[in-house]
Structure 1
Amino acid sequence: MDYPVLAACLVSLCLYLNTLDADFAYDDSRAIQKNQDLLPETPLVNIFFDDFWGTPLTHSGSHKSYRPLCVLSFRFNYALGKLNPWGYHLGNVLLHAIVTAVFTCLAQKVLKRKFATYVAGLLFAAHPIHTEAVAGIVGRADIGACLFFLLTFLSYMKYVEYRTSAHMASHRWLYVVSVCVFTVASLLTKEQAIAVLGVCATYDVFVFHRVKLQEILQLHIFTMSHFRGLCEGLVLLSTCGISLVATRIYFMGNKPPEFAPSDNPASDSDCMMTRFLTYHFLPTLNIWLLLCPSILSFDWSMESVPLVERLSDYRNVYTVIMYISIAYFAQVILKQLNQTVRNPYLGLKSQMNGNGVHHNVNNGKINPTNCKPRLKRRESASSSENEELVTPSVSAKHSNVLIVSLAIIIFPFIPASNLFFYVGFVIAERILYIPSMGFCLLIAEGAEILYSMCSSPSKRRLVLMAVAVILMLFSAKTVSRNFAWHTEEKLYTSGIKVNPAKAWGNLANVWNEQGRTSDAEEAYRNALRYRGNMADVHYNLGILLQEQKRFHEALESYQRAIHYRPKLSMAHLNLGILTAQFGQNENAAKIYRHCADLDTSGLKDPRLHEATKISCLYNLGRLYTEEERYQEALSVYEEALKRRPSHYAPQSLYNMMGEVYSKMGDLVTAERWYRKALKSKPDHVPAHLTIAKLLQKKKQYEEAEKWFKKASAIDSKDASIDHHYAQFLTETGRHIEAEVRYRLALSKTTPDFELLFNAANAFRQNSRDLDAEDLYRKAVILKPELPSAHMNLGAILHINGKLAEAERSYLSALKLKPDDSMTMANLQKLRNLMANTERKGTP
């Protein structure tokens, strides 16, 4: 039994079991919950033309993250359990356990010692840097890419081994196919994994063939016969890499992604020195996260890592130390490579044993006339090493581990380094999932060196204890960090120290959904104190204020959101709705039209913004309908139908077309549009209600009532259905039933003005005068600018004998509408009554 593999696999499973009951968090919402590509009705082929978030790759707002295999796995999860997060988390945990097992197998091949293999496998299983990738469901892309990365590398190692064997050379093509297939799979899971080709090339050149630097510079690898196999491998890797990168660029529309300045402030800096110093400091910070993952965060954007703007910044010292360390490792590697002795006269294949040393072989046998290696039988407890080997120096053995480890750390990190092209993040912990393998190999080899240097058992126990302590600390941190990923609230709270602006803004959204509106408002304002130009936070604060009826404050928030992001279509839409509520219809119409014509290129969620633009046309049409500008309304709705994207459901537009024709008196055409809305969506409640009203106009009361009842059966919790049904009952003289329906509607929702006003009228008609008075008072509070509200309140107060209050209400109504004859008549009657009452009361 392979105990290191089993141990590492079990540890990885145990450490992440507490993530199975976690909820969706952070990016999971957009990648899974709102991603149309997961739905069974979406054609499967779409995943090959859309990015990771469901946006077409060619769209200017696409993130250009091409990960169809990962999306396919999400789609499989959706087919099994819809949006139950348990299945998605289980998939991540199992995949991480598999990756841990395969990595431990690789560690066995590279490290060649059981103790070192145990350390590498357990360290990888327990490293806290992996929590974002495993506990965050979108991290599956990194885990899956790592799996294919490992399979590609292991396949290439086998290919190289078979390439040098006379008896097995023909079988190498099977592994060539494996290398190509796994490389394609890695690229289709996450782009970063294409770096495995660089690792394979490094292994072939510097570990297997131990090519000297001068041989590369003098192009000997292309001219000397014993490098023929190496050339074959490099051609294979180059062809595969160039083909895949070219295809990838073609699929994303030959355009790089666009990112907001807050995603990566260094790239937005105009100062070349700032960009240079920051870009070279960030790899140092990533290395520190691997060494000491004490502070982790769900997001490192914005000012979470302050820019390095001056040479005097102390952080430059860490950058210098890192590059000195890299230079030292390079010098050690080059020194060992230069010590390699190769017979230049043999056009022979080269085969590497377990320690990176080469046998020159001829027809599968060592040729004693051309090469006279010193053979020595090692007496080792490990049966895998009880064979005749060339005895290398100790440092030569370690240099192979050093080369492989550094290659695994550096090559996969290059795409995220900003050094060659702009990326949309400062630090992303899940990006370190693949590079962490190289880190674990280095630490394991270091532990092995320390262990072998210790002469006494007591010193060896100290080494074992130190390794055990590190593993326990990492495990504890992993478990603790997993709990932070349990809910969005815990996750964002844990990130306040690193990225307060982003954390407070996201935390506010969570609290708002929980109904903790005061906490949410405070959190929004905290976020804006740290970073005042966050358009999303201004917009979300506006929604909160609007829901609290603080309309003027909400209006200001929407205006600020638009100021900081002029293309934010949702802010324009809500601003238009609020402006219309204030009775400023002309301004509202201008806002709707401007929003409908916005250029939303470059925005992250084009589907949402395109749908919002159609919603603006929908609201503009409604505005024209209310103003009885029916032809203009029809023109707007027709425009909306022409511009409607495929993902925007048309039933509401069809229904409103029917409404306009109904108001114009063309009931036949109106009914046709209503039927079209129902055909588009058979359970569309507004269409049921509008058909019922149409039949009511035609005096077909029995048919009309059937449609009201159908609507109520579809959604028994919808208060608007009871409201419209109650209006129908009132108009048909069934006042008692109407009162029952109004009470149902009032119990289901926070009533708006229309519901309060109509219910009060119905109650008054049924002589429920005190109830009517209560509703009229509430209606006046909602719309104090309407004279009819004050007049009706005055009338019910008049009836209820509250004469002084009734007089004040009448006067308020006349102040708003001085020439209203009915109000003046009622006021005169009231004053006559008050005069008569006063005379009767006078002795």
Structure 2
Amino acid sequence: MTDPGATTAHQPAAPVPSPTENTANPAPGVIDGEARKDHSRTKPDEDLAETQPPHGHKREDGIVSVHCLVLWLGCIGLVVLSSGVFYRCRHYTDWFVDELFAVVRNADARGETPLKEVLSNDFWGNRLHFEEGQGWTHKSYRPLTILSYAAQIKWGWGWGGNTGVPDARPLRLFNCVLHTSNSLLVLALQVVVCGVPPLLAAASSGLFAAHPVHTENIVYLVGRADALATFFYLAGALAYFGMQKGGAKRHTTRSTEATSLIVAVACSILAGLSKETGFTLPVFLAACEMILFPPSLWRCSGLLASFLCLFKLRSALVGGTQVGFSPVDTPIPYESSRLTRWLSYMNLHRIYFGLMVLPWNLCWDYSYDSVPMVTSITDPRCIQTLLVYALLFSGGVYGLLAIRWPQRHVPQLVRCLIHPLRGCSGGSQGQQPLLDNTISAEEKPTEDTSSASAADEDVSSEREGSTVPASPAEEEAVEEHADVSKGTTVDQAAARDVFGGEENGENGENGKDGRARPTPGAQLLMGLSFIIVPFMPASNVFFTVGTVIGERLLYPSTVGWSLVLSAIGGLLWGPGEARSAGCRRGRRVAVLAAYMAFLLLLGGWYVWRSAVRVEQWSSRASLFVADARVNPRSAKVLHMYAATLHSSGRYDEALRWYNESLAIFDDNALTDYAVIQIYLVQNRFRDAYERFQKVLGGHFNGFGNFNRWLLLIDFGFTLIVLERYAEGIPVISEGLSLMSEAAYAQNALAYAHYKTGSLDKALDAILHAIRLESGNWVVWNNAAVVAATGGRIDYGMSCLQQAAERCGGTSAADSRGQAVLAHNARLMQQQQQQQSQGIAGGVGGAGYRFELFYPQTH
């Protein structure tokens, strides 16, 4: 379409058809049954307009195509570069917390179990179904994520040389690439579905790409589940909207609708098998049906019914939604007051909102007592929570008012709800409220539009009879009136000039298919839906979540935050005569430029904060030190910081921080057990025994059937060291029946049998220990002692020789070992001489040194 201001005074006006004239072929000013006066062109001008490129650019030797290509490459490059802040983690080799359980120690993730078994286990490799009291499951069913780990490891993408241990670096690189792909899908969703101008879409998508809370989804391998689910979520939304749009151009049929529904359900299944939030895709699409398209009962019913079926099937597969989490991980459900529970849960929503908008303080864990309970409605945090809810609700209402539905498609319920708000949305007298932007494809021009066109006609008529050139002010008035008469404002033209994309005003008009294309109001509602719907499984509204706050859970919701930011930009220049009347191009361009500057500043801060957070994740020590500063009231964070000191041999410092954690939550058996381990390493066996009495008299928080063997083995070990063999042997034997791969425990059991004279049992246990740790001189020495005590001197000398070969170092431990071996070798030679002289030695009476050992870390 040519510029309205470019018409000349001598052009004739379009002929007005008489009432008797056949209207089957409408005049040039009548398009799709909607009467529109156009005084700016003739029929030849229309033909010329069809050959002109969109957005007011002139086609000159392919310059427009080159400019568009450069624009798109720049937008894609901006998004990719924004996600590049996370790629530093591809060099990180440490394993963090739950990665050990989800990947390193999970046979499913290592590709060592058949597919059928993978589909029968939860995310951590535990059986979903078991006899009561025989196991425990988290009920986090994510086989597609597990298979992604297994594919990398089994096909050689995740192995660290020939060590047999997975390498974390390629696994993290995959997460980086996955996140970049998601960022580009967000860009496509905004441009293709929402019609956001490319530069604005690139800026807001870049904010998603650089969002600091995504650090957990990229560096922390457990967070891959959320990113993978979001990938299928976005792919399903793009496919569904694309099929709906394509079907509308070809007059949508039932088969097209059915195909789009099948595609949506398939993507929802893939997303849900990656993370539970993926099953909410049909709910999100049903919400968008009400926002973007003429409401279809058939499509909405199909989407909601598919969601209910998927939810029921998933719930039946995992055995419901109730899981017995510990009070350390989820303290709120253990509160006796229902009011306290609900106020505390709502307070978590406030914290999540803050992390989504401006994530200043980030932490790996928010367990007890990171977020104190809200026990009363007088707590100031309740006001902040209500403000968050009010902000989301007002955004939804504003978006609802700004939607440009065809009048015949506005739901009656919506009309009843928003009709009283007309006065609030209109402004001064003579201005049209946003609600009146709803139009009908059949209705004729409104009075305001007709008057605007009439004004253009009057001005043009005056120009025809005058030789005086028009003043700049008059030309600007003519241009503005002409733009309004065609449903296009000067502000939207300014938006085109600034952003280089299709203005939302055109998208807001109703096309031939009768649907309401996404206006900024629709984009706002769509963004809010993308924030709320995927977050519902993590909201604790319907069932208890296994964490207080999980930053990685916000991954899909930040897509909605990106859509909201682009919608706000669209609302600054979006359609609506009430907002744009009287505005001038310079002022609108300034507003748009200021908003773009704000997005760039926010994006720069996101990049900086993400870079700092990625650096903190470079090692376990740096992560837990940083998180202990941010969250000094988290019992779990302090425990993990102490565990880092523990693993590095700084036992006294570790004891201090373990006790700090217990000062916050004293009933955590895992922390007490860590203290016991240090006591055993330091040979403080009496202190270890007393701490065991506390653990055994408590609630075993942190222990279950899957790790109870740790307590049994170490408690039995302590009893044996304290020479309480009758008590220690059955305890340690029970522990070894649950987990037999503990060499130090097999060695301790052999020691107890040796001391009680059961040499055969002692030899069996020590040989088992040798099979587990054949490179340990202690077990070879003890095998020699048991054999020699039983009179098998030759076998004992052979075992002693094996021990000597493994104890040839110069460390203090090796020096001590060499002294033990020399002592036992001397006694063995004496016993051999006695046997040659016919003198028999008593059992254990030769003075051999049987050594116990306890691993520094295990």
* TM-score where L is the length of structure 1: 0.69
**1:331 partnered with 2:397:** yes
Tell which deviates more after alignment, 247-256 or 72-81.
247-256
In structure 2, C-alpha distance between the alignment counterparts of 1:788 and 1:9, rounded to whole Å: 76
Tell which deviates more after alignment, 165-174 or 548-557.
165-174
Among 587, 591, 608, the alignment partner of 1:455 is: 587
Among 701, 706, 728, the alignment partner of 1:588 is: 728
Helix, strand or coil: the match of 1:469? Answer: helix
| Partner residue, 2:122 | 51
**1:549 partnered with 2:612:** no
| Partner residue, 2:793 | 731
Q: How does 1:413-562 map to 2 (within 5 A)?
A: 413-450=535-572, 455=587, 460-496=592-628, 497-498=630-631, 499-562=633-696
Letter in 2 for 1:401: Q
Letter in 2 for 1:45: K
**1:76 partnered with 2:142:** no
Question: Would the aligned equivalents of 1:123 and 1:471 in 2 still touch at CA under 8 Å?
Answer: yes
Letter in 2 for 1:102: L
In structure 2, C-alpha distance between the alignment counterparts of 1:148 and 1:450, rounded to whole Å: 32
Which is bigger in relative contact order (C-alpha 8 A, separation at least 6)? 2
Distance 1:740 1:68, change over 3 A: closer
In structure 2, C-alpha distance between the alignment counterparts of 1:242 and 1:419, rounded to whole Å: 17
| Partner residue, 1:627 | 756
Letter in 2 for 1:249: S
Q: How does 1:692-771 map to 2 (within 5 A)?
A: 715=774, 718-721=777-780, 724=783, 731-732=793-794, 742=804, 745=807, 747=809, 750=813, 759-763=822-826
**1:656 partnered with 2:732:** no
In structure 2, C-alpha distance between the alignment counterparts of 1:78 and 1:791, rounded to whole Å: 45
Helix, strand or coil: the match of 1:537? Answer: helix
| Partner residue, 1:113 | 197
Letter in 2 for 1:376: K
Question: Would the aligned equivalents of 1:195 and 1:411 in 2 still touch at CA under 8 Å?
Answer: yes
Distance 1:293 1:569, change over 3 A: same
| Partner residue, 2:140 | 65
Question: Would the aligned equivalents of 1:505 and 1:537 in 2 still touch at CA under 8 Å?
Answer: yes
In structure 2, C-alpha distance between the alignment counterparts of 1:740 and 1:245, rounded to whole Å: 60
Letter in 2 for 1:762: A
| Partner residue, 2:579 | none
Q: Aligned-pair distance for 1:296?
A: 0.5
In structure 2, C-alpha distance between the alignment counterparts of 1:580 and 1:45, rounded to whole Å: 43
Deviations 1:525-552 (A, max 9, x none): 2322332222111111111210121111
**1:241 partnered with 2:276:** no
Tell which deviates more after alignment, 237-246 or 478-487.
237-246
| Partner residue, 2:108 | 37
Q: Aligned-pair distance for 1:518?
A: 2.9
Helix, strand or coil: the match of 2:531? Answer: helix
Question: Would the aligned equivalents of 2:268 and 2:279 in 1 still touch at CA under 8 Å?
Answer: yes
Question: Would the aligned equivalents of 1:573 and 1:612 in 2 still touch at CA under 8 Å?
Answer: no
Letter in 2 for 1:242: L
Deviations 1:575-627 (A, max 9, x none): 11111221112222464477689xxxxxxxxxxx6669999999779856753
In structure 2, C-alpha distance between the alignment counterparts of 1:501 and 1:127, rounded to whole Å: 27
Letter in 2 for 1:62: T
| Partner residue, 1:404 | 526
Among 682, 686, 711, the alignment partner of 1:571 is: 711
Letter in 1 for 2:721: Q
In structure 2, C-alpha distance between the alignment counterparts of 1:464 and 1:400, rounded to whole Å: 21
Distance 1:744 1:90, change over 3 A: closer
In structure 2, C-alpha distance between the alignment counterparts of 1:733 and 1:303, rounded to whole Å: 58
Question: Would the aligned equivalents of 1:336 and 1:395 in 2 still touch at CA under 8 Å?
Answer: no
Letter in 1 for 2:141: Y
Q: Aligned-pair distance for 1:407?
A: 0.6
Among 271, 279, 284, the alignment partner of 2:345 is: 279
Distance 1:749 1:245, change over 3 A: farther
Q: How does 1:761-800 map to 2 (within 5 A)?
A: 761-763=824-826
Letter in 2 for 1:197: P
| Partner residue, 2:293 | 208
Question: Would the aligned equivalents of 1:20 and 1:89 in 2 still touch at CA under 8 Å?
Answer: yes
Deviations 1:464-488 (A, max 9, x none): 3322221111100001100111111
| Partner residue, 1:267 | 333
Letter in 2 for 1:94: V
Structure 2, unpaired ranges of 5+: 1-68, 160-165, 412-434, 451-484, 511-515, 575-582, 831-843, 851-858
Distance 1:250 1:756, change over 3 A: farther
Tell which deviates more after alignment, 108-117 or 136-145.
108-117
Letter in 2 for 1:527: S
Distance 1:292 1:585, change over 3 A: same
Question: Would the aligned equivalents of 1:719 and 1:746 in 2 still touch at CA under 8 Å?
Answer: no
Helix, strand or coil: the match of 1:564? Answer: coil
Structure 1, unpaired ranges of 5+: 212-229, 346-354, 361-365, 598-608, 634-652, 660-673, 678-683, 688-713, 768-785, 793-843
Letter in 2 for 1:193: G
Q: Aligned-pair distance for 1:115?
A: 3.5
Query: Cα RMSD over matched residues?
Result: 4.4
Q: Aligned-pair distance for 1:329?
A: 2.9
Helix, strand or coil: the match of 2:486? Answer: strand
* TM-score where L is the length of structure 2: 0.68
| Partner residue, 1:602 | none
| Partner residue, 1:17 | 87
Letter in 2 for 1:141: A
Question: Would the aligned equivalents of 2:347 and 2:385 in 1 still touch at CA under 8 Å?
Answer: yes
Q: How does 1:307-322 map to 2 (within 5 A)?
A: 307-322=373-388
Distance 1:585 1:429, change over 3 A: same
Q: Aligned-pair distance for 1:740?
A: 9.9
In structure 2, C-alpha distance between the alignment counterparts of 1:177 and 1:758, rounded to whole Å: 73
In structure 1, C-alpha distance between the alignment counterparts of 2:174 and 2:444, rounded to whole Å: 57
| Partner residue, 1:232 | 298
Question: Would the aligned equivalents of 1:742 and 1:759 in 2 still touch at CA under 8 Å?
Answer: no
Q: Aligned-pair distance for 1:519?
A: 2.8
Helix, strand or coil: the match of 2:137? Answer: coil
In structure 2, C-alpha distance between the alignment counterparts of 1:756 and 1:279, rounded to whole Å: 62
Q: Aligned-pair distance for 1:516?
A: 2.6
Distance 1:503 1:385, change over 3 A: closer
Helix, strand or coil: the match of 2:383? Answer: helix
% identical equivalent positions: 20
In structure 2, C-alpha distance between the alignment counterparts of 1:110 and 1:90, rounded to whole Å: 31
Question: Would the aligned equivalents of 1:507 and 1:523 in 2 still touch at CA under 8 Å?
Answer: yes
Count of residue pairs the alignment pairs up: 660
Question: Would the aligned equivalents of 2:236 and 2:263 in 1 still touch at CA under 8 Å?
Answer: yes
| Partner residue, 1:127 | 211
**1:294 partnered with 2:360:** yes
Letter in 2 for 1:277: L
Question: Would the aligned equivalents of 1:378 and 1:388 in 2 still touch at CA under 8 Å?
Answer: yes
Question: Would the aligned equivalents of 1:131 and 1:478 in 2 still touch at CA under 8 Å?
Answer: yes
In structure 2, C-alpha distance between the alignment counterparts of 1:736 and 1:546, rounded to whole Å: 31
In structure 2, C-alpha distance between the alignment counterparts of 1:307 and 1:585, rounded to whole Å: 47
Q: Aligned-pair distance for 1:245?
A: 1.4
In structure 2, C-alpha distance between the alignment counterparts of 1:732 and 1:790, rounded to whole Å: 16
Distance 1:98 1:68, change over 3 A: same
Among 177, 183, 202, the alignment partner of 1:94 is: 177
Letter in 1 for 2:370: S
In structure 2, C-alpha distance between the alignment counterparts of 1:184 and 1:155, rounded to whole Å: 14
In structure 1, C-alpha distance between the alignment counterparts of 2:612 and 2:508, rounded to whole Å: 48
Letter in 2 for 1:50: N
Question: Would the aligned equivalents of 1:115 and 1:448 in 2 still touch at CA under 8 Å?
Answer: no
